[in-house]
Amino acid sequence: MIGVIYWSGTGNTAAMAEAIGKGIADAGQEVVVKSVSEITADEAAAFDKLALGCADMGAEQLEEMEFEPFYTALEGKLSGKQVILFGSYGWGGTWLDDWAERVKAAGANIVADNLPVFGAPDDAAIADCEARGKALAEA
Ligand SMILES: Cc1cc2nc3c(=O)[nH]c(=O)nc-3n(C[C@H](O)[C@H](O)[C@H](O)COP(=O)(O)O)c2cc1C
């Protein structure tokens, strides 16, 4: 079972999460797609493979009310896991790079390139999401 967990304010990152979930399912793996409000860090830590997504918020940061506390609680439990990172941004787009450094420092393996998408994912971005899901499923 693979977990896809995300925060999305206006639906763009949520659409990416659904497409990543489709890619995982198409690759023949079971998948759960959940908004961060629907899952605890302990529950998320039960997955060996995780696709984590958060829109670019604040000043090139994770959303701080809900997602940052969730991720901070999960961070100490990520060692040895297979992870991909994704999310939508509006004008910057560097937040995933900083986040990936944290994930690597926590001892997890980033198994496919980060996937930042400008605004709402178009058809090409949806295809990229599906491909990332497949890559995670096969990692
Ligand atoms: C309060 C707020 C802060 C934001 N900060 C950033 C930012 O620092 N860098 C950036 O590229 N986009 C920023 N954005 C734009 C969002 O990342 C962008 O609208 C994105 O598509 C939202 O994705 P979502 O639909 O999954 O919430 C911000 C948006 C809001 C509402």
82 lines ligand 1 (CB under 6 A): no
With contact defined as beta carbons under 8 Å apart, do 50 and 5 qualify? yes
* Confidence tier at 69 by pLDDT (50, 70, 90): very high
Q: How far is CA 6 from CA 18, 39, 83, 114, in A?
A: 10, 10, 13, 14
Query: pLDDT per residue over 24-56, tens digit each?
Result: 999 999 999 999 999 999 999 999 999 999 999
- Going along 1-139, which residue ranges are E strands? 2-7, 31-35, 49-54, 82-89, 109-110, 115-118
| Ligand 1 atom having least distance to the Cα of 59 | 8
> In the chain, where are the structural domains located?
12-138
Taking CA atoms only, the protein residue closest to ligand 1 atom 30 is 57
Q: 56, 63, 118: which to mutate for ligand 1, most atoms within 8 A of CB?
A: 56
Q: Which residues are within 8 A (CB) of 122 and not within 5 positions of it... i.e. 6 or more apart? A: none
User: So what CATH class is 12-138?
Assistant: alpha beta
pLDDT of 46 reads 97
65 lines ligand 1 (CB under 6 A): no
Enumerate the β-bridge partners of residue 19: none
